[in-house]
């Protein structure tokens, strides 16, 4: 049979396997054929795996996820040619569930960016409009799912790298509660923020993949016991209290088309039975970005110290050891990692530590407290995921601060370790708008239930018009 991957959800694919209408190898081959057809233009994949290993629905993995025997570069030249000798826990769990790996997807270098333009291997393009970015850092996985080049995939999220690309590509992405998914074998960026999570066409697919990868892992001491995942079925929202943080829905820089699409989804939520009320997160939004751009670079400067040309990765030629290390790091890192290493090293250096890093850690407490107060009154909070729809390739590349603003609305909840789900809620200027649902820690099942009901009612077509 011919398998059209463009509309196929992971559950559809599972149905084909269960009814024996297709084999896992045929499914895998169908996706590879789609990649052969469309990935020349989009560049979602850094490399593909030609043979299906496993009897399940194939999966794309962001290239920060270590895969035994498959090159893993994190989008950086410093790791070019690096082939892990072990599997990350999430890769092992995918394999354990029988999911064949389709390939490794493109990312901003070390997951640092909001457009996937910072990849050392060239940018990924948005399937809705190849002149535009897919978001980042997980643009490769998000664009692949939208373009039918993978039924689902895993990304990593530090300040919005799952939710924001899902918003810009018009699909569903979950940044789970910090600690629910193991980070063992993940190329580290900022350890108190990094989380692995699923990207798919539907909320149910996202919930299924989350159930496969989540859970305590003895190899990652920050992981916790995870409540059993409930696949969402209901189409009503009776009894659900939705909070609308004023600052996150009226912030300067939110495009009118984005705000309107989210407001319309809230009207729909009321019709489905939800109680919708306003709330406030004043300091989370005003200080969140500044807090993030101190803490994440500080942790990154420490994590990226390991790329020294000694044990793996690139080594630049030099007569002396320190010269070798300094040259390796200059040659191996691109502009964005260098900027963040410099910023983080400065913020942690003697004389500045308390004013920058210490103060940012206190702001983090303030952000967590504000969210906790909001959850006294509400089950979930709603806002746009990204202030804008997908922007043009090159538009923000020269201005780091403008790029950082892309994550204005995803960052606050990340600082508090809270889960967030992006669902597409409409189009603005012909491009997808993402709606962000934030819940308390370990409230993934609530996010799935609310996201599913809204998704069913919204009826958003995840296939870009130009591919229909």
Partner 1 sequence: MAITREEVLHVAKLARLELTVEEVERLTEQLGAILEAVSKVSELDLSDVPPTSHPLELVNTWGEDEPRASLPLDEVFVNAPDREGDLFKVPPTG
Catalytic residues: 62, 137, 161
List the structure tokens of 195.
Answer: 């989380």
- Give Cα separations from 294 to 13, 42, 74, 303, 413 (angstroms): 43, 33, 22, 14, 16
Given 40, 267, 322, 468, the residue binding partner 1 (CB under 8 A): 322
**Residue closer to partner 1, measured from CB, 323 or 461:** 323
**Residue closer to partner 1, measured from CB, 31 or 357:** 357
Instruction: Name the burial class of residue 268, with classes exposed (0-12), middle (13-18) and buried (19+) by CB atoms within 10 angstroms of its CB.
Output: middle
To 10 degrees, the CA torsion angle through 337, 339, 343, 345? 50
- Of residues 60-99, which lie at the interface with partner 1 (CB under 8 A)? 81-83, 85-86
Q: Determine if 309 is a binding residue for partner 1 (CB under 8 A).
A: yes
Residue 458 CB, nearest distance to partner 1 (Å)?
31
Contact 158, 189 (CB under 8 A): yes
* Residue ranges of E strands in 8-145: 45-48, 59-62, 101-105
**Residue closer to partner 1, measured from CB, 256 or 320:** 320
- Of residues 428-457, which lie at the interface with partner 1 (CB under 8 A)? 441
Q: Determine if 400 is a binding residue for partner 1 (CB under 8 A).
A: yes
* Residues 148-187: x where in contact with partner 1 by CB under 8 A, - otherwise, as a string: ------------------------------xx--------
- Of residues 224-283, which lie at the interface with partner 1 (CB under 8 A)? 224, 283
Given 323, 373, 461, 465, the residue binding partner 1 (CB under 8 A): 323
Which backbone phi and psi does 200 adopt, to 5 degrees?
-160, 180
**Residue closer to partner 1, measured from CB, 6 or 291:** 291
Residue 348 CB, nearest distance to partner 1 (Å)?
9
Asked whether the CA dihedral 231, 45, 158, 380 is positive or negative, the reply is: negative
Contact 189, 111 (CB under 8 A): yes
Which contiguous run of DSSP H or E holds residue 433?
A: strand 431-438
Residue 132 CB, nearest distance to partner 1 (Å)?
24
**Residue closer to partner 1, measured from CB, 128 or 287:** 287
Pairing of strands 241-245, 275-279: parallel
Given 20, 252, 376, 401, the residue binding partner 1 (CB under 8 A): 401
């Amino acid at each position: 049979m011919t398998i059209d991957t463009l509309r196929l959800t992971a559950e559809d694919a599972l149905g084909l396997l269960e009814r024996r209408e297709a084999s896992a190898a045929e499914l895998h081959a169908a996706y590879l054929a789609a990649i052969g057809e469309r990935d020349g233009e989009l560049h979602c994949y850094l490399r593909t795996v030609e043979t299906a290993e496993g009897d399940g629905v194939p999966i794309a993995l962001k290239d920060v996820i270590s895969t035994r025997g498959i090159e893993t570069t994190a989008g950086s030249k410093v790791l070019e040619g690096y082939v892990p000798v072990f599997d990350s826990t999430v890769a092992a769990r995918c394999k354990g569930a029988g999911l064949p790996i389709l390939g490794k997807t493109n990312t901003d270098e070390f997951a640092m960016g909001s457009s996937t333009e910072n990849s050392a291997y060239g940018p990924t393009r948005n399937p809705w409009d190849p002149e535009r970015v897919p978001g980042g850092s997980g643009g490769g996985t998000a664009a692949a799912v939208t373009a039918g080049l993978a039924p689902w995939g895993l990304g990593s999220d530090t300040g919005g790298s799952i939710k924001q690309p899902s918003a810009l590509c018009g699909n569903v992405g979950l940044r789970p509660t910090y600690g629910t998914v193991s980070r063992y074998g993940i190329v580290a960026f900022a350890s108190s923020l990094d989380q692995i999570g699923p990207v798919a066409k539907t909320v149910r697919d996202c919930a299924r993949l989350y159930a496969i990868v989540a859970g305590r892992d003895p190899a990652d001491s920050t992981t916790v016991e995870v409540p059993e995942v409930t696949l969402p079925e209901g189409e009503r929202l009776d009894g659900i209290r939705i909070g609308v943080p004023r600052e996150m829905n009226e912030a300067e820089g939110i495009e009118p088309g984005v705000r309107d699409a989210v407001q319309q989804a809230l009207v729909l939520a009321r019709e489905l039975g939800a109680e919708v009320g306003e709330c406030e997160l004043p300091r989370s939004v005003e200080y969140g970005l500044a807090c993030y751009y101190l803490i994440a670079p500080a942790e990154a400067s420490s994590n990226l110290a390991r790329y020294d040309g000694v044990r793996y990765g690139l080594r630049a030629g030099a007569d002396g050891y320190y010269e070798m290390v300094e040259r390796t790091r200059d040659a191996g890192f691109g502009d964005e990692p260098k900027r963040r290493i410099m910023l983080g090293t400065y913020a942690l250096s003697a004389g500045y530590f308390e004013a920058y890093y210490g103060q940012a850690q206190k702001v983090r407490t303030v952000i967590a407290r504000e969210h906790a107060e909001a959850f006294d009154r509400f089950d979930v909070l709603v806002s746009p995921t990204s202030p804008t729809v997908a922007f043009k390739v090159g538009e923000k590349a020269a201005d780091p601060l403008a790029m950082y603003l892309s994550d204005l609305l995803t960052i606050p909840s990340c600082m508090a370790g809270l889960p967030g789900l992006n669902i597409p809620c409409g189009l603005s200027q012909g491009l997808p708008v993402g709606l962000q649902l934030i819940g308390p820690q370990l409230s993934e099942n609530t996010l799935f239930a609310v996201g599913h009901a809204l998704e069913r009612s919204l009826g958003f077509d995840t296939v870009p018009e130009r591919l229909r």
